[in-house]
Structures are given as C-alpha cells and as structure tokens.
Amino acid sequence: MNENNTKNEYANSRALYVLKIITLGFAILACVIVATAMLTRWIMDLDQKIKESSTKAAKAAARLNKFRKARIKHILKQRKLQLKDEKKKNKKNKGDSDIELAEMDDGAFTDELFEDITDDDAAANDFDNDLADIMDDEE
C-alpha cells in the first residue's frame, strides 16, 4: 500500500504543478489585459485633453487676432485725426509763415524754414504705410 500511496502523491503533485502553471498563466494574462485597458483609457483621456487645449488655443489666437485688428484700426483712425489736425494747424500757420517770409530783411532762405523731412516724420509715414498695407491685406 505504501507504493500505491506514493504514486498517488507523486501524481497529485505533478497535477498540482501543472495546475499552478496554468493558473499563473491566466493571472499574467489578466494583468496584461487590465494594464492594456488602463493604458488605452489614459491615452484616450490625454487625446481628449489635447483636442480641448488646441481648441482653447485656437480661440485665444482668434481673440488676439481680433484685438490686434481692432487696435490697428484704432491707430489708423487716430493717425487720420492727427493728420487732419496738423493740416488745420498748417493752414493757420501758413498765413503766419507768409508774413514771416515777407518780413525777412535780406531774403535769404534758412534751414529752419525749409527743413527736409525729419527721421520722426519719415518713421511716422513708414508706420502709416505699413498699417495701411496690413489693413488692405486683411480686407
């Protein structure tokens, strides 16, 4: 009987060993499936956040672009008003400058009366031209 009992224990231990290997294989498979599901969910959430952030960035860029266009229009309007004021002042001063020219005793022309365009005036004109070009391109 001792031999029979030993054979059963050996057979049982071999069956238990195979059963342990199969169970361990299923456990590993279950861990892989859970990890894959978690990673898939994490990737989907990340993709959704990226889409939301890109739409937020696009909206912010559109607001900035709108603000920039409004600011350019405002600057152009202010510059037009400034030019109108300067023309009015020049018309008033034109009569005064004619009197000053007549009052000059030797008739020599000075640099003060007929100056070339200053750097500030040239920069202002360039700025006006650039803004006008931008506004024309946008329309």
pLDDT of 17 higher than 90: no
Asked whether the CA dihedral 128, 123, 96, 109 is positive or negative, the reply is negative
28-52 pLDDT, tens digit each? 999 999 999 999 999 999 998 888 8
Percent of the chain at pLDDT > 70 equals 61
Q: What residue spans of 1-139 are helical by DSSP H?
A: 2-103, 119-138
When pLDDT is averaged across residues 61-83 and rounded to a whole number, the result is 88
Question: In this prediction, what percent of the chain has a pLDDT beyond 90?
Answer: 24
CA–CA distance from 109 to each of 32, 99, 100, 117 (Å)? 95, 14, 11, 17
Separation CA 41–CA 113 (nearest Å):
78
